[in-house]
């Protein structure tokens, strides 16, 4: 089961497959935990930061997924 990793968020996927659950999770993150900023980010890139007070870094989507997985595997 896929659950949201944000503190105090009880969201969890209800889906027929693991792929569908991860798609729901991505949609949940964008809708509930993402912010829109006015920044020039190259096509195909995203910005992430590791901690609340850290700097934003610009990476590819795949790099962002790797960072996310590494942070949540601890």
CA distance 54 to 10: 25
What separation in angstroms does the CA of 11 have from each of 22, 27, 39?
A: 12, 12, 29
* Gap between the Cα atoms of 46 and 17, Å rounded: 26
Extract long-range pairs of 25-30: CB within 8 Å, 24+ residues apart. Answer: 28/4, 29/4
Q: Which tens digit of pLDDT belongs to each residue from 7-22?
A: 899 999 999 999 999 9
Tokens of 37: 């900023």
- Say whether pTM exceeds 0.75: no
Rounded to an integer, the average pLDDT of 38-56 is: 85
């Amino acid at each position: 089961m896929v659950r949201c990793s944000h503190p105090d968020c009880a969201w969890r996927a209800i889906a027929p497959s693991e792929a569908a659950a991860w798609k729901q999770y991505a949609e949940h993150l964008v809708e509930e935990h993402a912010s829109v900023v006015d920044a020039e980010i190259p096509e195909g890139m995203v910005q992430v930061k590791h901690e609340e007070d850290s700097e934003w870094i610009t990476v590819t989507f795949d790099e962002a997924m790797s960072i996310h997985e590494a942070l949540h595997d601890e």
